[in-house]
Structure 1
Amino acid sequence: MPEHRRDMTSILQLRDDFTRFMLAYRFGLDEVMTKLTILRDEFNYAHSYNPIEHVGSRLKSPDSILQKAHRKGIPFTLEDIKSQMFDIAGVRVTCAFQSDIYRVRDLLIGQQDLTLLAERDYIAEPKPNGYKSLHLIVQVPVFMSDRVEPVTVEIQIRTIAMDFWASLEHKIYYKYDKEIPAELLAELKDAADVANALDIKMEHLHNTVLTIKGATTGDSSADMQGLVPSQQLLEAFLRESTPAPQATDDEPDTH
């Protein structure tokens, strides 16, 4: 076979392999997003409080994957990229309060088909610049047509205040081409401390309100509209499903 034909065949094979590689990560992302959507909807409809405020996801582009592999010195093979790069598929969960973060974490890790590979708690030990978040590296099985593919997904769980700070820090980080002036770094750290104080204050207020109201359960009937039968239908169903009392010797059947 001519050299150029062999090269073209290799390129086409690599393209097909990379497409399947990216599809597996997209499907793995969908699996984790489905789990979180189910949890969020269950809390909306069946509980008095929902710890999940927002869920978002992103999949690195092929160019971003190869650029990061080059920066990190990862060999340009799909197996090496898969075994050494853990943020190709990413999910971000935003919660109202810090305690919600660990509640969501426990709910996810408790699922049988989700395996925790690594955990980095930047809330207990923030980064020097003030960054706070809980990072989970998990593995989820993806059932393809010819195999079961274990896919790694990074999950970041943070409060609204943490997410706001991280979003602004990210913009500043790239505006200064990753070389942020020292005085600006100090201000960012101060802002992170303010965000943390706000988290603590708001959670304290939340718990105080619950204590005053004695609220351990809530009325979610408004959210349940369309999922629960009306009161009249429930009563009719109970009447139909309740067996009639059996006749006794003392109460002869008159029919």
Structure 2
Amino acid sequence: MEIIDEYKLEVFKEYFDRGEMKRFRELMMYYECAMLEVKTKLDVLNKELSLRKSRNPFESIKCRLKTPESIIEKLNRRGIGFSVDNIEKELNDIAGIRVICSFPDDIYDLIDYLLDQDDITLIVMKDYIKNPKPNGYRSVHLIVEVPIFLTDKKKPMRVEVQFRTIAMDFWASLEHKLKYKKNIKKAEDISEQLFYCAELISQLDARMQQIRDKIEMNDNIGVDENVEAPDENRRISD
């Protein structure tokens, strides 16, 4: 994966001299390595849990590094001076992973298993499923720290991990597109409708999870019924 292409790096030329540009490239490489480290952990958990539960706890996983334009915009918005040190110190979401799960309880299971790993440190957790944003947005956001091992040192790096269900991701994607439409008429009415849709999606997630639980319960009962009962009169052959 190309970290940041040369065209995008042009954005930084007015901010960085050659030495700082080299440091920035190294920093983005560190973030990419940390992102891949966390992704690998999640992929391993997905494989293991798919064997144990006969289904995948997540449907897809996406990774991204924040673009130079987004980095500059966020630092400016927060009134923070532009430097490589400030990028690393002040921004926790340079490296991001989004995990799309089938059901809400899969989200919490994955989070528990990930945070149980002794080289993962939780920095911040924001649960917007239990405490939705005012607009109806639901997701769980983690900032975790993971070590990467380089040729001459071990370096802790931070990665943002977002967990959503398929339905939550559908809502968030459309809400994001609509939010940036210009000159929207009756914007307040549309916001109310989006909030209502978010509530419906939350109810749908809960209902689908209940249906899944019933199916799995029936499957387990079926397995138990198919097990041959022991014959108390049967003799053990020599």
Shorter-chain TM-score tier: 0.7 to 0.9
TM-score norm. by structure 1 comes to 0.77
Question: Which residue is 2:88 aligned to?
Answer: 82
Question: Which residue is 1:119 aligned to?
Answer: 125
Question: Which residue is 2:19 aligned to?
Answer: 13
Deviation at 1:179, TM superposition (A): 10
The equivalent position to 2:144 in structure 1, one of 135, 138, 142, is 138
Distance 1:177 1:85 in 2: 32
Cα separation, partners in 2 of 1:26 and 1:11, compared to 1, 3 Å? same
Deviation at 1:208, TM superposition (A): 1.1
- CA RMSD of the aligned region, Å? 2.3
Cα separation, partners in 2 of 1:199 and 1:152, compared to 1, 3 Å? same
Deviation at 1:175, TM superposition (A): 1.9
Matches within 5 A, 1:147-226: 147-176=153-182, 181-214=187-220
TM-score norm. by structure 2 comes to 0.82
Distance 2:42 2:28 in 1: 21
Distance 1:24 1:65 in 2: 16
Distance 1:31 1:125 in 2: 29
Contact kept in structure 2, 1:74 and 1:81, CA below 8 Å: no
Matched, 1:50 2:47: no
Of 139-148 and 161-170, the range deviating more from structure 2: 139-148
Distance 1:177 1:95 in 2: 34
Amino acid at match of 1:94: I
Question: Which residue is 2:101 aligned to?
Answer: 95
Contact kept in structure 1, 2:141 and 2:162, CA below 8 Å: yes
Contact kept in structure 1, 2:127 and 2:140, CA below 8 Å: yes
Runs ≥4 residues deviating over 6 A: 177-180
Structure having the higher Rg: 1
Distance 2:46 2:89 in 1: 31
Contact kept in structure 2, 1:173 and 1:179, CA below 8 Å: no
Distance 2:164 2:137 in 1: 10
Contact kept in structure 2, 1:172 and 1:180, CA below 8 Å: no
Distance 2:91 2:36 in 1: 19
Unaligned 5+ runs, structure 2: 1-12, 224-238
Distance 1:15 1:177 in 2: 39
Question: Which residue is 2:28 aligned to?
Answer: 22
Deviation at 1:215, TM superposition (A): 6.2
Unaligned 5+ runs, structure 1: 1-6, 218-255
Distance 1:92 1:175 in 2: 24
Contact kept in structure 2, 1:173 and 1:180, CA below 8 Å: no
Amino acid at match of 1:130: G
Amino acid at match of 1:166: A
Deviation at 1:177, TM superposition (A): 8.2
Q: Percent identity?
A: 41
Amino acid at match of 2:48: E
Matched, 1:70 2:76: yes
CA-to-aligned-CA distance 1:135-167 (integer Å, 9 cap, x gap): 110001111222222111000011111111001
